[in-house]
Amino acid sequence: MLVNRKLILAHFWLAFAVFGIALTLGAWQMFIRSPIGTWLSNPELYYRSLTAHGTVMGYVFPTLVAMGFGYAISESALEQRLVGVRWAWTGFWLIVIGSIMAVIPVALGRASVLYTFYPPLIGNVFYYLGVVLVVVGSWIWVALMSVNLSVWRKAHPGAPVPLAMYANVAGSYLWAWTAVGAALELLLQIIPVAAGLKATIDAGLARVFFSWTLHAIVYFWLMPTYIAYYTIVPRAIGGRVYSDSMARISFILFLVVAMPIGMHHTFADPMVGAGFKFIHSAFTALVALPTLLTVFTICASVEIAARLRGGRGLFGWIRALPWDNPMMLALAFSFVMLGFGGAGGLINMSYQLDASIHNTQWITGHFHLIFGGAIVIMYFAIAYDLWPHLTGRELIDLRLIRTQLWLWFVGMIVTTFPWHWVGILGMPRRMAYFDFGDPAIAPQALSVTFSAIGGFILLTSGILFLVILARGMRAPGADAGPYRFALAVHQPATVPLALNTHALWVALMIALTLTNYGYPILTLAMTEGTSVPAVYVGAQ
Amino acid sequence: MSTEETHGNGSASAEVAARVERRWATIAVIIIVMMALLAAFAGIHRATMPQPRVEITDPSRIHLSGEFVESNLGSVLEANGNVTVRAIGQQYSFTPACIVVPVDTPITLRATSADVVHGILIQGTNINTMLVPGYISEQLMRFARTGDYLMPCQEFCSFGHEGMWGKVKVIDKTEFAGRAKGGGRLSCVGQ
């Protein structure tokens, strides 16, 4: 039951439009710093572009996808009209206004501080206020998801919450809480300085606050992808979810352990002691657990589909899968990229190995492979799956869709594998220019060239994606029927209270954050003499 | 398979499913515990470690007094034969821009930033640390080979970041000892 299609389409279209712009900037960045680009006489343009690319891809694009998808889940999984439609539109417009407010100073070169802010660098205050508005807009969505679920619960006392909605609400709570770190950094530290009320800032404390957001935000990006793994893929390929309760356990594990681990981003930092670094490292290892469980459950669900289609043998069933189905293709690509990206992630989070690749191009390669690859390819798949239900028109050209997915996969591998490699060679991140004439840097030239070519493959794929969706808006009308989610092999008649509600897990999430972040934040906040003069960017 | 069939042989197949699932979950937990134990073991046995302690300093005064005044920057041979290197990062260079150290010697790098966040990365090694203004970074290092290493700033520090490259020159032990005889602070300058 998708009633508010316009609302959902507005979120998806805005998400994919800004994605297209940021993708173009990204491809240009890959090109301009590669040996095939010529020296950009003004490096500031590169960092301007990088700030816009990161801000859109990190804050605006995935948030809008999660919101649009969340509204679609709420209406179709609960079979209930969205409660609070006017609030939902308010949230949407806050994001539009916030994005415009942020992008103007960035485009003018007044806020080239990158999406990670990096105080004591301080940009124009409207950039930060714009980001705050985007987050506030998304918090309205969080509240709406919670309200809609509780309205449904009242009408269905004791009934199992549909898996898609259970996961969706878990994702929204994770986002609400993880955004608090950056919000504290912005509201307590950066904005007062950017507004000229203060002239000094504790850069170390700001980095700790940001790490609170920086890691769990990745799991917020990941949520729609995991929801698609569990609740769309099995239905789309004609299978069943292997285990409903294991799916719920995976989502609550994300909720609980995605948060108190962010300090693995600060292993090389001087403002956090060894003890908390090690604790966060160990907790980060824990977050591999829900992913390992998911890999098992999804592979088993896919195997069910293959065997239902007549697949035989230990591995022979793989051939029986519907490989011409875009959802199957997207899932396979996503899993391959998740596998490589996850293995890289285990290196990043390990207490010692991190030193070999910290802040090198390896890291950029890593999160592009995970986010741009494993996660975003499922965003594409979600859009393809939902589109006929949102537009009332069929997506006819499956071949074009498959080509788009193939290009994205190949492009992502060609981009990120050499990227990882030059990182191992010690190439630093976020540089507008490399002197490939230097004999010590020359060996990296070929890899960087490959990466740049990969960037253009990705750009081609991104344009194709937008073309497919746009054509889908004008295709002949066809009734796609009600939007449905995958059923479990053993569809639960009842679910234990702990796996049907979120309160316990939200409490654990907050408690673990306080134990893992409380002490470091308090000691830093109470240490005198750590505030340093702000360095204003582009203001003079 | 229709829904009725699923429910028909439900209990037996559900048990098998749950057993397989539990087995996999156990393997996953074992993998994770092993990783944490390995990290702890390597840490105790002094593999490369993240910086353990927090030390603070005032970046607006480092050029006036304390260990990061200009005359104290560079490499110094300590009485026990170890070497201490003191350096600062500022937009957009390191001081000293070229660090000289002996091969096969325990070295302590102490560094900080005079303005914004920077980073020190020595290519071809796992020496890698952040410079956050207000805090002192300390890292232990030891070079197995002589030669020149590039030392880029690895953190965005504004528009000139791409030009912030330093160097490390690793030289023979006796050569270093000869130069250090005067007791001064060494860098590549004047060689």
Residue A265 has pLDDT above 50, yes or no: yes
Tell me the pLDDT of chain A averaged across its residues.
Answer: 94
Residue B46 has pLDDT above 80, yes or no: no
A368 as an active site residue: the answer is yes
Chain A residues touching B127 at Cβ < 8 A: 355
- Reported as a pLDDT band with limits 50, 70 and 90, residue B4 is very low
- Reported as a pLDDT band with limits 50, 70 and 90, residue B36 is confident
Q: What is the DSSP letter of A360?
A: B
- Name residues 68-107 of chain B within 8 A of A (Cβ): 91
Residue that wins the pLDDT comparison between A331 and A37: A331
A420 as an active site residue: the answer is no
Asked if the Cβ–Cβ distance from B115 to A267 is below 8 Å, we say no
Residue A106 has pLDDT above 60, yes or no: yes
Q: Tell me the CB-side half-sphere exposure of residue A18, using CA atoms within 13 A.
A: 24
pLDDT tens track for A40-83: 788 999 999 999 999 999 999 999 999 999 999 999 999 999 99
Residue B57: Cβ-neighbour burial (10 angstroms; 0-12, 13-18, 19+):
buried
Catalytic residue, chosen from A367, A371, A409, A483, is: A367
CA distance to A260, A265, A432, per residue, from A214 (Å): 11, 8, 23
Asked if the Cβ–Cβ distance from B156 to A277 is below 8 Å, we say no
CA atoms of A73 and A52, how far apart (whole Å) = 30
Among the ranges given (A339-353, B3-17, B46-60, B152-166), the one the predictor scored with the smallest mean pLDDT: B3-17
pLDDT tens track for A480-502: 899 999 999 888 888 999 999 99
Closest CB from B50, B136, B156 relative to A277: B50
Closest CB from A300, A489, A529 relative to B56: A529
| DSSP states of A78-97 | HTSPPS-HHHHHHHHHHHHH
Average pLDDT over residues A353-370: 94
Any residues with CB less than 8 A from the CB of A201 and at least 6 apart, and which? A119, A120, A122, A189, A190, A193, A531, A532, A534
Residue A332 has pLDDT above 70, yes or no: yes
Domain hosting A287: range is: 5-536
Chain A residues touching B116 at Cβ < 8 A: 118, 120-121, 203, 535
CB B131 within 8 A of CB A532: no
Average pLDDT over residues A21-35: 96
The reported pLDDT for the residue numbered A38 is: 81
CA atoms of B120 and A359, how far apart (whole Å) = 10
Distance of CA A144 to the CA centre of its chain: 20
The reported pLDDT for the residue numbered A510 is: 95
Percent of chain A with pLDDT over 70: 100
The token duo for A495 is 């679910």
CA atoms of A519 and A264, how far apart (whole Å) = 16
Percent of chain A with pLDDT over 90: 89
Closest CB from A281, A286, A490 relative to B10: A490
Residue A369 has pLDDT above 70, yes or no: yes
User: CB contact, 8 Å: B17 with chain A?
Assistant: yes
Query: From the CB of residue A397, how many other CB atoms can be counted at a distance below 10 Å?
Result: 15
Residue A235 has pLDDT above 90, yes or no: yes
pLDDT tens track for B87-108: 999 999 999 999 999 999 999 9
CA atoms of A293 and A247, how far apart (whole Å) = 8
pLDDT tens track for A406-448: 999 999 999 999 999 999 999 999 999 999 999 999 999 999 9
- Pairing relationship of beta strands B74-77 and B83-90 according to DSSP bridges: antiparallel
- Reported as a pLDDT band with limits 50, 70 and 90, residue B48 is low
Model-level ipTM above the cut of 0.85: yes
Helices (H), A261-397: 274-286, 288-308, 326-349, 354-357, 361-367, 376-391
Average pLDDT over residues A12-27: 98
pLDDT tens track for A109-157: 999 999 999 999 999 999 999 999 999 999 999 999 999 999 999 999 9
Catalytic residue, chosen from A31, A71, A92, A219, is: A219
Any residues with CB less than 8 A from the CB of B46 and at least 6 apart, and which? none
Asked if the Cβ–Cβ distance from B54 to A431 is below 8 Å, we say no
Chain B residues touching A114 at Cβ < 8 A: 156
Any residues with CB less than 8 A from the CB of A296 and at least 6 apart, and which? A246, B21, B24, B28
CA atoms of B50 and A346, how far apart (whole Å) = 16
Residue that wins the pLDDT comparison between B124 and B190: B124
Query: How many domains does the structure of chain A reveal?
Result: 1
Among the ranges given (A211-220, A361-370, B9-18), the one the predictor scored with the smallest mean pLDDT: B9-18
The reported pLDDT for the residue numbered B96 is: 95
Top-ranked range on mean pLDDT: pick from A90-99, A338-347, B37-46: A90-99
Residue B3 has pLDDT above 60, yes or no: no
User: CB contact, 8 Å: A114 with chain B?
Assistant: yes
- Reported as a pLDDT band with limits 50, 70 and 90, residue A186 is very high
State the pTM of this model. 0.95
Q: What is the CATH number of the domain that holds A284?
A: 1.20.210.10
Contacts for B20-25 with beta carbons within 8 Å, 24 or more apart? B20/A300, B21/A242, B21/A243, B21/A246, B21/A296, B21/A297, B24/A292, B24/A293, B24/A296, B25/A293
User: CB contact, 8 Å: B42 with chain A?
Assistant: yes
Catalytic residue, chosen from A309, A429, A471, A536, is: A429
Q: What is the DSSP letter of A369?
A: I
